[in-house]
Amino acid sequence: MDVERFHVYDTTLRDGAQQEGLSMSVQDKLAISRLLDELGVGFIEGGWPGAVPRDTEFFQRARTELDLSTATLVAFGSTRKAHAAAADDELVRALLNAHTPVVTLVAKSHVGHVERALKTTLSENLEMIRDTVSFLVGEGRRVFLDAEHFFDGYRSHPDYSLDVVHAAVDAGAEVVVLCDTNGGMLPDDVRSVVSEVSDATGARLGMHAHNDTGCAVANSLAAIDAGASHVQGTINGTGERTGNADLITVVANIELKRSQQVLPAGALPEASRIAHAIAELSNLVPYSRQPYVGSSAFAHKAGLHASAIKVDPDLYQHTDPSEVGNDMRMLVSDMAGRASVELKGRELGFDLSNDHDLVTRVTRRVKELEAAGYTFEAADASFELLLREEAGEERTRFFDVESWRVITESRPDSEAVSEATVKLRAGGERAVVTGEGNGPVNALDHALRTAIGTLYPEIDKIELIDFKVRILDAAHGTDAVTRVLVEMTDGASSWETVGVGANVIEASWAALVDGVNYGLLHQDLDRLTS
């Protein structure tokens, strides 16, 4: 695998950071750079020194704090101002001071943008490209050129867009990256434009795609088919508007579907871990439907297929999930059979293949509970507790609830308030505790924490982060059965539990109790194993 033969170029830290509501500290950017290096990308575009103070600081600290093994760090910037010398341009100087082996320059390649946005002449724009590229090359930098709005520009004035490519190459640019800046292209058009430009200029070409037509990945592949040997993208497809091409999806398609290795051997199986870690660092909720690395990417509704999946999983998955460090997951759902319970157990680390009776008992209980309105599809934690209970484990319940009551009251001109009283026994002691909250579940949550906090101080680590409520039998409205899904986290991992009841508070309480028990149980297990 030769990182120079094909460039896997990551711009998560620069173009990816353009995403609405996303902000990364210098610390985050350094941590993400290390993860990108683990993934084995060839180039990491770190930001725009000079223009963005945080990026200037990033490149300063990178010199001492980053020790990259595979990746080459890249500083991004713009061609010099009109009618001035690159050598005197403050922002061009800032690019030199970033001390990166590679500099990527963005340049206009669309007549309309030169005239109406940049407001200079077509010839001056070409001169800005020649001057800036050759100055940086003269200073010993490798230079890549991002040809902004290239595809739209080529459509309106192909000759000028080609002049831009020639100007860059003649001045010493190694790669000219054709950018679909507005993201409106479709694969066929990308393929034809890239091959025409390749034939007309012989330049080494790259592709920078956005997802506005839902085709960023396909457009990147089309460009590669047409001869591009440099592809830009971001981890998790972050970016402005609909985002950039998802680099992991592009690379996984190239390696797994086209059998062309573009990452170091053994790197791709790290993709899921790295994608999730970068999502965490960027404070993004991971997208469950994300190709290859999403938590649902290899999830199957059990039911009919389960037995066939046991026989031959390849019948039902387009690739082996371990190729990208993901796992096949079985969703225990309606029509749950023995096969799916067994598969689900294995997934949670329980080998049930030799315990026929246990599988029978668990399957029966799952079916009973599902008939009553439960669903374990999005509630692995409740399923695991059920499994452990049926397996006869004792340490699954950390307290016994006696009774609870919650009052919610609304007075004129004041927000409604809730007050909950919980009576339970924990560790032989009886507790009667009252908690307040801005909602009934919140009040119950507070009361429960107070009631068991002394005995189980680790409860402080456990937080309720989401709950969802569904009415199951719409025909009867509020008379109907209610299903509540609760999600909790201990900071390191998160888990979901389910509760069902005619009363929404009762259902919420059941899910809440399951969630707390699961959290305490796993903190116990962690202690035992560490």
Instruction: Assign 189 to helix, strand or coil.
Output: helix
308 binds a second copy (CB under 8 A): yes
CB of 8 to a second copy, least distance (A): 16
CA distances from 154 to 168, 229, 270 (A): 16, 20, 38
Strand partners, 444: none
**Candidate residues 2, 4, 5, 21; the one interacting with a second copy per rule CB under 8 A:** 21
38 binds a second copy (CB under 8 A): no
Where does this chain touch a second copy (CB under 8 A) — which range of 81-89, 248-256, 362-370, 391-399? 248-256
CB closer to a second copy out of 203 and 222: 222
CB closer to a second copy out of 101 and 318: 318
Residue 50 makes CB contacts below 8 A (sequence gap 6+) with: 56, 77, 90, 91, 93, 94, 95, 97
CB of 139 to a second copy, least distance (A): 25
CB of 488 to a second copy, least distance (A): 8
Residue 102 makes CB contacts below 8 A (sequence gap 6+) with: 43, 72, 73, 74, 75, 141, 142, 143, 144
Cβ contact 103:132 at 8 Å: no
CB of 397 to a second copy, least distance (A): 15
CB of 149 to a second copy, least distance (A): 8
CB closer to a second copy out of 393 and 460: 460
Rounded to whole angstroms, how far apart are CA atoms 82 and 120? 7
Rounded to whole angstroms, how far apart are CA atoms 496 and 494? 7
Rounded to whole angstroms, how far apart are CA atoms 168 and 105? 10
Where would I find the H helices in 321-398?
A: 338-347, 356-371, 380-390
289 binds a second copy (CB under 8 A): yes
87 binds a second copy (CB under 8 A): no
Where does this chain touch a second copy (CB under 8 A) — which range of 12-20, 132-140, 381-389, 450-458? 12-20
**Candidate residues 62, 147, 222, 339; the one interacting with a second copy per rule CB under 8 A:** 222
20 binds a second copy (CB under 8 A): yes
Rounded to whole angstroms, how far apart are CA atoms 515 and 517? 5
Strand partners, 429: 426
CB of 62 to a second copy, least distance (A): 15
Distance of CA 381 to the CA centre of its chain: 22
**Candidate residues 265, 474, 492, 528; the one interacting with a second copy per rule CB under 8 A:** 474
Q: How many residues bind a second copy (CB under 8 A)?
A: 125
Residues in 325-384 that interact with a second copy by CB under 8 A: 330-331, 334, 375, 377-378
187 binds a second copy (CB under 8 A): yes
Neighbours of 85 (CB within 10 A): 12
- CA atoms within 13 Å, Cβ hemisphere of 16: 25
Residues in 385-424 that interact with a second copy by CB under 8 A: 402-412, 415-418
Instruction: Evaluate the CA torsion angle 55, 56, 59, 61 in order and state its sign.
Output: negative
Residues in 503-522 that interact with a second copy by CB under 8 A: 503-506, 509
Pick from 128, 133, 67, 146: nearest CA to 95: 133
Binding letters toward a second copy, positions 431-470, x by CB under 8 A: ------xxxxxx--x-----------------xxxxxxxx
Residues in 128-147 that interact with a second copy by CB under 8 A: none
**Candidate residues 99, 305, 361, 365; the one interacting with a second copy per rule CB under 8 A:** 305
316 binds a second copy (CB under 8 A): yes
CB of 510 to a second copy, least distance (A): 10
CB of 181 to a second copy, least distance (A): 8
CB closer to a second copy out of 84 and 502: 502
Rounded to whole angstroms, how far apart are CA atoms 61 and 47? 13
Residues in 52-81 that interact with a second copy by CB under 8 A: 52
Instruction: Assign 477 to helix, strand or coil.
Output: helix
Where does this chain touch a second copy (CB under 8 A) — which range of 244-252, 345-353, 384-392, 451-459? 244-252
- Which amino acid, residue 400? D
CB of 75 to a second copy, least distance (A): 18
Rounded to whole angstroms, how far apart are CA atoms 49 and 60? 9
292 binds a second copy (CB under 8 A): yes
**Candidate residues 130, 149, 230, 388; the one interacting with a second copy per rule CB under 8 A:** 149
Where does this chain touch a second copy (CB under 8 A) — which range of 7-15, 83-91, 165-173, 477-485? 477-485
Strand partners, 483: 470, 500
Instruction: Assign 399 to helix, strand or coil.
Output: coil
Helix or strand (DSSP H, E) at 288? none
| E-only strand ranges, 11-63 | 43-47
Rounded to whole angstroms, how far apart are CA atoms 459 and 396? 15
Q: Residue 67 corresponds to which tokens in the numbers above?
A: 């020790």
Cβ contact 346:352 at 8 Å: yes
Q: Residue 228 corresponds to which tokens in the numbers above?
A: 């591009």
Where does this chain touch a second copy (CB under 8 A) — which range of 357-365, 387-395, 472-480, 516-524? 472-480
**Candidate residues 14, 300, 388, 449; the one interacting with a second copy per rule CB under 8 A:** 300
150 binds a second copy (CB under 8 A): no
CB closer to a second copy out of 115 and 170: 115
Where does this chain touch a second copy (CB under 8 A) — which range of 80-88, 272-280, 301-309, 364-372? 301-309
156 binds a second copy (CB under 8 A): no
CB of 423 to a second copy, least distance (A): 10
Pick from 455, 393, 458, 396: nearest CA to 426: 455
